[in-house]
Amino acid sequence: MRLEPRRNNRLSLRSRNLRATGAAACLAAAALLLTSCGQSSDSATSAATEAAKVLPQRTTASPSATADLTEDQQERKSVLDATKVTFDDAATTAVGEVAGGKLVDLDLEGVDDDDRDESPSPTGSPTGSPTGSPSPTGSPSPTGSPTATGSPSASPGADGPVWVAEVAEKDGTVHTVRINAVDGKVIEARVDADQDAEDKKQTADRLAQATQTPEQAAKVATEKKKGTVTSVSLDEADGNDGNSVVWSVDVVGSDWKKTTFDVDAKNDTIVREETDND
């Protein structure tokens, strides 16, 4: 019976030793793990540093609506963002300025103007007008239209974009009508001074062949490509020597690219389609 207390003491001492040994082992394992993690972190940092020396730094650009647009596309976007008057409203206003007149051309100034002749500015137009429209000197207009000197500038980059229309009388006499594309007011209406008898006859002949309206041609074009009509012009079909006429319609899509459709002016059939990717 005297041996029991000694035995218990030995067991207790042994348990304490085992616990101490276990704790030491845990500490050693933890130290090893921390060292290992530190080395991995250091290695990863070192690898990233070396990679940065080899690979060029990439900068994440903030989203921009014009970042990837060409110069022409940016120009179209700028003009169309400022335009409030649609093609058909401008056409109605222009035709209303010429008694019995018909539209032969309508162009949103500032959009691809290099493709066609630009109309002269109001300050360069001849004085007086048979239709009673304002003169460049700023004289009052019998119709109540704004005078040239008090109206917005024709430059799209100044006081706003402008629709430039050509409206022909039955005999082919063409009138140029300029319309503010923001508020829809007529800036100027005048008879073109540089027409001769042959020009008038050519215009009258084209109108006689065109059984479809420019509005119908624009509808055909925008059904083929969704977008905004920026120009409509009555022209001779390519290679037909005046025997056939087309409405040439420009449509600018949501990508700001321009597509030109030649629509047969007799049956509304698209005979040519071309996209300008610039």
Identity of the highest mean pLDDT range in 50-64, 66-80, 206-220, 231-245: 206-220
pLDDT for 79 equals: 96
Position 145 confidence tier, pLDDT thresholds 50, 70, 90: very low
The answer to which of 113-127, 151-165, 212-226 has the lowest mean pLDDT is 113-127
> Is residue 93 a contact partner of residue 184, using CB atoms and an 8 Å limit?
yes
Residue-wise pLDDT for 218-254, tens only, equals: 999 999 999 999 999 999 987 655 568 999 999 999 9
pLDDT for 228 equals: 97
> Is residue 221 a contact partner of residue 251, using CB atoms and an 8 Å limit?
yes
Q: Is 21 a residue whose pLDDT tops 90?
A: no
Q: Is 144 a residue whose pLDDT tops 50?
A: no
Residue-wise pLDDT for 78-104, tens only, equals: 999 999 999 999 999 999 999 999 999
Q: Exposed, middle or buried: residue 254 (CB in 10 Å: 0-12, 13-18, 19+)? A: exposed
